[in-house]
A and B are shown apart, each in its own frame.
Chain A
Amino acid sequence: MKAKAILQSGKLFAALGAASATTAHADDKQAPPREFAAKVHYCTTCHGVSGQGFRGFYPIPRLAGQQPDYMKNQLLAFTQKRRTNTIMFSVAHVLSPEMLSALSSHFNKLDPKPLGGGPARLASEGKTIFTQGVSATNVPACATCHGDTAAGNGEIPRLAGQLSDYVVAKLANWDKERGQIASQPDASALMEPIAHGLTPDQIKAVAAYVSTLE
Chain B
Amino acid sequence: MRSRLAEALLIAAASTILFAGLASPAGAEDPAIGNCTWCHGGGAQGYLPAPRLAGQQRAYLRAQLERFRMHGRDAPASIQFMWAAAENLSDGRMRALTDYLAALDTKPAMDGNPALEGRGRDIYQNGVADENIVACVACHGPHATGVGAIPRLDGLSHSYLVRRLTDWQNGYNRAGATPMPHIAGNLSPDQIDALSSYLSNTRYAGAAR
Query: Which residues of A approach B to under 8 Å, CB–CB?
Result: 38-39, 41-42, 45-46, 49, 54-58, 60, 86-87, 90-91, 93-94
Residues of B132-179 whose CB lies within 8 A of A: 132, 134-135, 137-142, 146-148, 150, 178-179
Contact of A42 with B126 in the complex, beta carbons under 8 Å: no
Contact of B182 with A90 in the complex, beta carbons under 8 Å: no
Contact of B132 with A57 in the complex, beta carbons under 8 Å: no
CA distance A55 to B149 in the complex (A): 10
Contact of B147 with A45 in the complex, beta carbons under 8 Å: no
A-B contact pairs, 29 of them (CB 8 A): A41-B182, A42-B132, A42-B134, A45-B183, A46-B138, A46-B139, A46-B179, A49-B178, A54-B139, A55-B148, A56-B138, A56-B139, A56-B147, A57-B138, A57-B140, A57-B147, A58-B138, A60-B138, A86-B125, A86-B126, A87-B127, A87-B137, A90-B126, A90-B127, A90-B129, A91-B127, A91-B129, A91-B135, A94-B130
CA distance A142 to B55 in the complex (A): 43
Query: Which residues of B approach A to under 8 Å, CB–CB?
Result: 125-127, 129-130, 132, 134-135, 137-142, 146-148, 150, 178-179, 182-183
A contact residues around B147 at 8 Å (CB): 56-57
CA distance A56 to B130 in the complex (A): 22
CA distance A56 to B148 in the complex (A): 9
Shortest beta-carbon distance from A93 to chain B in Å:
7
| Chain B, Cβ-Cβ closest to A48 | B179
Q: Report which of B129, B139, B179, B183 forms a contact with A93, defined as CB distance below 8 A.
A: B129
A contact residues around B135 at 8 Å (CB): 87, 90-91
Shortest beta-carbon distance from B74 to chain A in Å:
22
Q: Report which of B139, B178, B182, B183 forms a contact with A57, defined as CB distance below 8 A.
A: B139
CA distance A112 to B32 in the complex (A): 44
Contact of B129 with A57 in the complex, beta carbons under 8 Å: no
A contact residues around B148 at 8 Å (CB): 55
Contact of B150 with A45 in the complex, beta carbons under 8 Å: no
CA distance A49 to B181 in the complex (A): 13
Shortest beta-carbon distance from A195 to chain B in Å:
23
Contact of A57 with B179 in the complex, beta carbons under 8 Å: no
Contact of A57 with B127 in the complex, beta carbons under 8 Å: no
Residue from the set B127, B138, B148 with the largest chain A CB neighbour count within 10 Å: B138
B contact residues around A87 at 8 Å (CB): 126-127, 135, 137-138
| Chain A, Cβ-Cβ closest to B141 | A57
B contact residues around A54 at 8 Å (CB): 139
Contact of A41 with B132 in the complex, beta carbons under 8 Å: yes
CA distance A60 to B140 in the complex (A): 13
B contact residues around A60 at 8 Å (CB): 138
Contact of A57 with B137 in the complex, beta carbons under 8 Å: yes
Contact of A45 with B134 in the complex, beta carbons under 8 Å: yes
CA distance A49 to B129 in the complex (A): 18
A contact residues around B183 at 8 Å (CB): 45
B contact residues around A56 at 8 Å (CB): 138-140, 147, 150
Shortest beta-carbon distance from B82 to chain A in Å:
26
B contact residues around A94 at 8 Å (CB): 129-130
CA distance A157 to B73 in the complex (A): 40
**Inter-chain pairs besides A45-B182, A57-B140, 4 sampled, C-beta below 8 Å:** A38-B132, A46-B134, A46-B138, A91-B129
